[in-house]
Chain A
Amino acid sequence: MSNRDIDSISLLCHKLETHGVRTDLLDPGPLPPARVLEIDAAGWGKAAEIAHAEKWRWAGVWAEDLLSELYVYACLEHQGAYLVLRAGLSAEHPRLPSQAPYYWAADRPERHLQDMFGIHFDDHPDPRRWTRHQAWDESSHPLRRDFPAAGLSPRQTSPDNSYPFLRAQGASVYEIPVGPVHAGIIEPGHFRFLAIGETVLHLEERLGYVHKGIEKIAEGRDPHSLARLAGRVSGDTTVSHAWAACLAMERAAGLDAPPRAAFLRGILAERERVINHLWDIGALCNDVGFGFGFYQFGRLRELWLRENQALFGHRLLMDKIVPGGVAVDVDAAVGQRIKLSIAALRKELDELITILDNNSSLEDRFLAAGHLSTELATALGALGFVGRASGQSFDVRQDAPYAPYQQLRMRVAQEEQGDVSSRLWVRYKELRTSLRLLEDMLDGMPSGELLTAWRIPQEHAVGFAAVESWRGEVLCFVRFAADNRISRYWPRDASVINWPALEKLVLGNIVPDFPVCNKSVNGSYSGHDL
C-alpha cells in the first residue's frame, strides 16, 4: 500500500466525516490489499455521493447473511487503491439508501441483492426485480440462510411473461423481442428493441436466464471444490475466475502461492487472453460478413487451443489453477515450444492485420459503429477493452498489480474513439502485449515449488482479490466457516459492469448492426447471471 493510496482513502474519510457520515477505517483491515471502511447504514447513499464527487470508481456490491445481521459491502477503486465500504443491517427488515442515483453501475447489482437477500434499497431509480424470474417468489430470498439450496418448490418453472419492459407509444415505433434462445451458438438472454425504421431507439436487456445459483451452491464447499466452481462461472474466463477465487482463499488462509506458481498462473491467464481476443476478432469479422477473417483467426485460435491440450492437458485450461498454486508446470522444452508458437503467431498477425486494415468494407462497418463516449464509459466505470477503447486506462495488472505482474513491465493499450473499431484495435494491441508478457514470464520464471501446502483458515476468515481477466477486472470475496468450508463466495465478472454499456452504445445504430456491436462488447451471460 503506497502513500498515495492512503492519501486518497484518508481524504475520502475526511470528506465523509465532514458530511456527517460516521466512519471507521479498520486497521488492519480484514481484506488486504483492499482497505475496509465501516460506515453507518444511514450514510450509505451519502458515501456514494461523496465518493462519486471524489472520482472513485464503483466496482461492485455484495452482502452476506450472518444470521444476527446482514453485512453489505460496496467496492470502490481510485488510482489502483481498493476501498470496501461495509455496513451492518438488521436481518429482520434490511434497508439501505441506494448508491445507484450516483453510480449507474450500481443499478443492477443492487437489484440482485434485493432479489437474493430481500434488502430494500431506498431511492433506487429502478426497483424492478432483476435476477429473479419465476423460479422463486418475491417473498423468498435464495441467499438468506433459511432458504434451502434445493429450493422451496420443485414444480415446473413458468415462463417469465410479466416483466415490465419499458413501452413506447407512437405510430412509428415498434418492438423487436429477441431471445432468450438466440439464432446462433451463443448464450441465452433477452433483448427488447424499440426501433423506428431500422434505427434503434431504445434497447433493454433482460438477463438472468442462466442464473444457476453459483453463490448459493458455493456454500459448504472446500477450497478445491470452490476453485472448480469458480472455473465455471464463465467458461471462457475459467483461468481468471479460478485465479481470483484461489487468491482470495489464499489471503483468507494467510498463505502465498510460490513465486513460480504465480508466473505459471500469469502464463495461463495470458494464454486465455490471447485465445479469446483471437476468437473475438474473428467473430467481429464474421458479424460483418468477412468470412476470411473469421476463418483465419479461428484457425489461429484452434492452434493455440490444441497447444493448451498438448502442454497443459485441457483446451480451455480448466482446473489448472488450484488453491495454493498450480497443477501444471512449464519446463525448458515446453517454454521453447511456446516461444516458437508466439513467433509464429506474431508473423501471422502482421499479415492479417494489414489485410484487415486495408479492407474498406470493414472500415465502413466498424468505424463509428457502436460508439461509447468517454463520458459514458467513465460514468459507468467500463472495464477491460470496452473501457480502454473509450479513454479509460484502468488495468488491474498495472494499477493494482498482483504477482507476477509486480515484476513485469507492460503498457496498457488505450484508444479514445469508443467505437467498434477502437475496441477491436485495443484487443489487437492487448494481444500483442500478452505475447510479450508471455515471453517475459518464460524468461523470468523463478524456480521452486508449484504448491504451498494448504493451511485451514480460521472460522470467519475472509479474503478479497482483484485480477485482470481478458474481459477486464474480476473481483472475488470469500468467507470461510469452520472446517475449511466456504460460507460465502462472491465473484464479479467484468460483464456485470459492462452489460449496461451495450444498451447505450447501440442507440442510433441500425438493428442489423446489433450483432457486431454486441460482439464488440462480448459480455458473458453466465458470468453476469451467476
Chain B
Amino acid sequence: MLQLYGKIFKTGVLTEKTPKKPREIDETLEAMGRSLKAVVDKRFQGSLAIRQVDAGSCNGCELEIHALNNVFYDVERFGVHFVASPRHADVLLVTGPVSRHMEAALRRTYEATADPKWVVAVGDCGVCGGEFGVSYASCGAVSNVIPVDLAIPGCPPTPLMLLQGLLTLCGRF
C-alpha cells in the first residue's frame, strides 16, 4: 500500500500544469476547458451529461473519446461527464457511419433521450460517412438518421478536437 501511495505522490497531479506535458497542449486545454466550464456552469447547472453511442464506428473514435477521461484531459473537471443511459443525457455523442443494423437502436436511443437534447456527430464517418459512405449496410452520416446539432470531423478527432467541439456546441447557448 505504501508503494501505491508513493506512486500516486510521485505521479502528482498531471491535470494541472506539469513539465511532463508539452506546453502548448497544456495551455490550449486549460483555456478551452475554462470556457467550457463557464458555459456548463451557466447553462447546465454545472453538469453536462453525455451519452456516447457507437452506431457503427471502427472503434477508433471510441479510443479518443475514452482518452478525454484520462488524467491529462480529465474532462470531468469541466463538468462534462459520460452517463450510462440516454435518459440521463443532455448530449448524444454519436460515432458512425450508422450501420443499418444499428439504425433502429440509434433512433430508439434518440427517442429515449429527454428534451432538450443535442446530438453531436463525431468523426469523419459520423459527419459524412467517411471511408464507408452509404451502402447496403451503412446509412452513412449520423444526420441521415437523426437530427445533428454539431459535427466534429477527424479520423479520429483527437481529444483536443473533441473538447473544442463540445465548446463550440456549448458556445451556441
Name A's B-contacting residues (CB within 8 A).
Answer: 133-136, 142, 147-152, 156-160, 180-181, 183-188, 208-214, 216-217, 228-229, 232-236, 238, 279, 292, 295-296, 298-299, 301-303, 305-306, 309-310, 315-316, 318, 351-352, 354-355, 358-359, 524-526, 529
Check B52 against A185 for contact (C-beta < 8 Å): yes
Check B70 against A295 for contact (C-beta < 8 Å): yes
Which among A135, A208, A235 has the highest number of chain B CB atoms within 10 Å?
Answer: A235
8 Å CB contact of A183 from B14, B85, B102: B85
Check A147 against B66 for contact (C-beta < 8 Å): no
8 Å CB contact of B99 from A147, A209, A233: A209
8 Å CB contact of B131 from A229, A236, A316: A229
CB distance from B164 to the nearest CB of A (A): 15
CB distance from B33 to the nearest CB of A (A): 16
B155 at the interface (CB under 8 A from A): yes
Contacts of B14 in A (CB 8 A): 299
Check B135 against A149 for contact (C-beta < 8 Å): yes
Complex Cα distance A218/B82, Å? Answer: 35
Name B's A-contacting residues (CB within 8 A).
Answer: 3-4, 7-8, 11, 14, 20, 22, 25, 52-67, 69-72, 82, 84-86, 97, 99-105, 108-109, 130-139, 155-156, 158
Contacts of B139 in A (CB 8 A): 157
Given A149-B136, A212-B137, A187-B72 contact (CB < 8 Å): no
Check A212 against B135 for contact (C-beta < 8 Å): yes
Closest residue on chain B to residue A235 by CB atoms: B60
Contacts of B99 in A (CB 8 A): 209-212, 529
Closest residue on chain A to residue B136 by CB atoms: A151
Contacts of A318 in B (CB 8 A): 60, 155
CB distance from B103 to the nearest CB of A (A): 4
CB distance from A413 to the nearest CB of B (A): 24
Closest residue on chain B to residue A525 by CB atoms: B59
Check B138 against A212 for contact (C-beta < 8 Å): yes
CB distance from A240 to the nearest CB of B (A): 13
Check B67 against A232 for contact (C-beta < 8 Å): no
Check A181 against B104 for contact (C-beta < 8 Å): no
Contacts of A160 in B (CB 8 A): 101, 104
Closest residue on chain A to residue B109 by CB atoms: A181
Which among A210, A306, A524 has the highest number of chain B CB atoms within 10 Å?
Answer: A210
Interface of B is mostly: mixed
Contacts of A159 in B (CB 8 A): 104-105, 108
CB distance from B95 to the nearest CB of A (A): 9
Complex Cα distance A136/B136, Å? Answer: 8
Complex Cα distance A214/B132, Å? Answer: 7
Check B85 against A526 for contact (C-beta < 8 Å): no
Contacts of B105 in A (CB 8 A): 159, 180-181, 188, 209
8 Å CB contact of B67 from A133, A183, A216, A302: A302
Check A216 against B136 for contact (C-beta < 8 Å): yes
CB distance from B50 to the nearest CB of A (A): 9
Closest residue on chain A to residue B10 by CB atoms: A351
CB distance from A135 to the nearest CB of B (A): 4
Check B132 against A213 for contact (C-beta < 8 Å): yes
Given A133-B101, A299-B70, A316-B60, A216-B135 contact (CB < 8 Å): yes
Complex Cα distance A236/B25, Å? Answer: 24
Check B137 against A299 for contact (C-beta < 8 Å): no
Given A186-B54, A212-B132, A216-B135, A135-B59 contact (CB < 8 Å): no
Contacts of B134 in A (CB 8 A): 150
Closest residue on chain B to residue A132 by CB atoms: B101
Going nearest first, the 3 A-B pairs with the smallest beta carbon separation are A235-B60, A151-B136, A213-B137
Closest residue on chain B to residue A298 by CB atoms: B70
CB distance from A510 to the nearest CB of B (A): 20
* Further contacts, 20 of them, CB under 8 A, given A186-B62, A298-B70: A133-B100, A134-B101, A150-B135, A157-B139, A158-B104, A160-B101, A185-B52, A185-B65, A187-B62, A188-B55, A211-B101, A212-B56, A216-B137, A232-B130, A235-B59, A292-B8, A295-B71, A302-B70, A309-B158, A316-B156
Closest residue on chain B to residue A301 by CB atoms: B70
Contacts of B135 in A (CB 8 A): 149-151, 212-213, 216-217
Closest residue on chain A to residue B68 by CB atoms: A185
Complex Cα distance A295/B11, Å? Answer: 10
Closest residue on chain B to residue A183 by CB atoms: B84
CB distance from A42 to the nearest CB of B (A): 33
Contacts of A156 in B (CB 8 A): 103-104
Complex Cα distance A316/B66, Å? Answer: 13
Check B104 against A354 for contact (C-beta < 8 Å): no
Check A217 against B132 for contact (C-beta < 8 Å): yes
8 Å CB contact of B56 from A152, A210, A234: A210
Closest residue on chain B to residue A352 by CB atoms: B7
Contacts of B55 in A (CB 8 A): 188
Which among B82, B101, B109 has the highest number of chain A CB atoms within 10 Å?
Answer: B101
Closest residue on chain B to residue A217 by CB atoms: B135
Given A187-B54, A210-B54, A299-B11, A228-B131 contact (CB < 8 Å): yes
Closest residue on chain A to residue B133 by CB atoms: A217
Check A213 against B104 for contact (C-beta < 8 Å): no
Contacts of A292 in B (CB 8 A): 4, 7-8
Given A212-B132, A216-B136, A236-B59, A180-B71 contact (CB < 8 Å): no
Check A351 against B3 for contact (C-beta < 8 Å): yes
Check A181 against B53 for contact (C-beta < 8 Å): yes
Contacts of B138 in A (CB 8 A): 212-213
Check A296 against B11 for contact (C-beta < 8 Å): yes
